[in-house]
Amino acid sequence: MSMYFQKSVYASRMAKIQKIMEQQGIASMVIPPGSDFFYFTGFETESMERLTLLIITDDGVTLITPSLMKEQAEQGTWVDEIRAWTDDQNPYELLKSYLPAGKCAIGGTLPYSMFGSLRSAIRGDSILADAFTAPLRMVKDQYELQAIGDAVRKSEAALLDTLPEISAGVTEIGVARILDSNMVEHGLQGPAFQTIVSAGANSAMPHHTPDSTPVKPGDMLVIDFGGRHKGYASDITRTFFLGKPDAEFEKVYDIVKRANEESRNSAGPDSTYGGLDAVARSIIESGGYGKNFIHRLGHGLGISVHEDPYVVSGNQQRIIMNSVFTIEPGVYISGRGGIRIEDTNYFDGSRCVAFNTISREIQTVS
């Protein structure tokens, strides 16, 4: 598979990280498969027992890969210098010839089983690379914003196609399978994470794994899902009711919806991520359910489903232009159920804009 974006996009990212390396006195950076690897190379692959590494220095970029992946790498990345190694070779010996003396920054997705051998190839101190790559990835470029927006649009279309399939008796896992299939039908690579479908009392658990629980009349149904497009994720939650909502949960729904909308609308050039959390938390606390809002307001989103910035109490970082993050307030009453409404958003420099167009109004399914 070829890269999703043109070579100049990746070359620009590489120039930025090389400038940071120069400023920080970092002689080399080694990035194993994972989100940073994809961000810099455009090549989608996973970490295996065979060493694959992107090596960045001040004067070059090299990809070390097992020989069985060489053709994939040649087709899937803009990097010209690709060094393949065979199973009878020691890749760490090859690595030594590409690492200059000095400080080396290592990507955090490196399996610990490889760390000792990798460390022995480094002539200098080693540090974690993520502290330097995360700030870069927080500021999305136009291509990333488009990919995330498309992921949201296609995911929402898949949900709208799924809703008519939901009725009393269908199981949580049955709904999840239908939605996952519909995401692929709408041109997504597939789910960006395991789809959460939780009915009735199960919805009081924010990360419930869908099981054989059937949906029954009177249940609230929380659906938390997202698809992947061009390597980028969406993350959306909507809560539905089978028939007329319970009076208390109808009230809770309104509180959660206001927390979602007012925290977004409060964002401005001087706002902080923690400040958004505080707005939502204040609304839920005023409604009498503060102790039932048991998680942060949101998280960054991009190549990874969870990444910087985190929209959490205490994060006093000012909101960054073109950062992408979720806003997902929720109220959970153990043994009875929960309500969550989540959107994927970006900050345009003056306000927080939701990619989502699907309604946040209370909705029932038959």
pLDDT of residue 46: 80
Going 111 to 112 to 116 to 121, the CA torsion angle's sign is: positive
Domain that holds residue 254: 139-365
Report, as an integer, the average pLDDT of 272-301. Answer: 98
Together in a domain, 287 and 334: yes
CB distance 16 to 136 below 8 Å: yes
Q: Rounded mean pLDDT of 273-298? A: 98
294 and 230, same structural domain?
yes
pLDDT score of 192: 98
Q: Are residues 329 and 186 in the same domain?
A: yes
Q: 256 and 347: one domain?
A: yes
> Is residue 2 domain-resident?
no
Asked if pLDDT for residue 3 goes beyond 90, the answer is no
347 pLDDT higher than 70: yes
Residue 193: exposure state from Cβ atoms within 10 A (0-12, 13-18, ≥19): middle
How much of the chain, in percent, has pLDDT values that exceed 70? 99
Buried b (16+ CB within 10 A) or exposed e, 196-208: bbbbbbbbbebeb
* The pLDDT of residue 364 is above 90: yes
Say what the pLDDT of residue 18 is.
Answer: 97
Residue-wise pLDDT tens digits, 51-100: 999 999 998 999 999 999 999 999 999 999 999 999 999 999 999 999 99
Band (pLDDT 50/70/90 cuts) for residue 47 is confident
Q: From 137, 158, 184, give the residue that closes a domain.
A: 137
- Per the structure, the count of domains in the chain is 2
Last residue of a domain, one of 91, 121, 137: 137
pLDDT in tens, 178-232: 999 999 999 999 999 999 999 999 999 999 999 999 999 999 999 999 999 999 9
In a domain, 245, yes or no: yes
Sign of CA dihedral 22, 25, 28, 34: negative
Question: Of 103, 137, 171, which one is at a domain's C-terminal end?
Answer: 137
Q: Token pair of 167, please?
A: 């009725």
| 129 and 147 share one domain | no
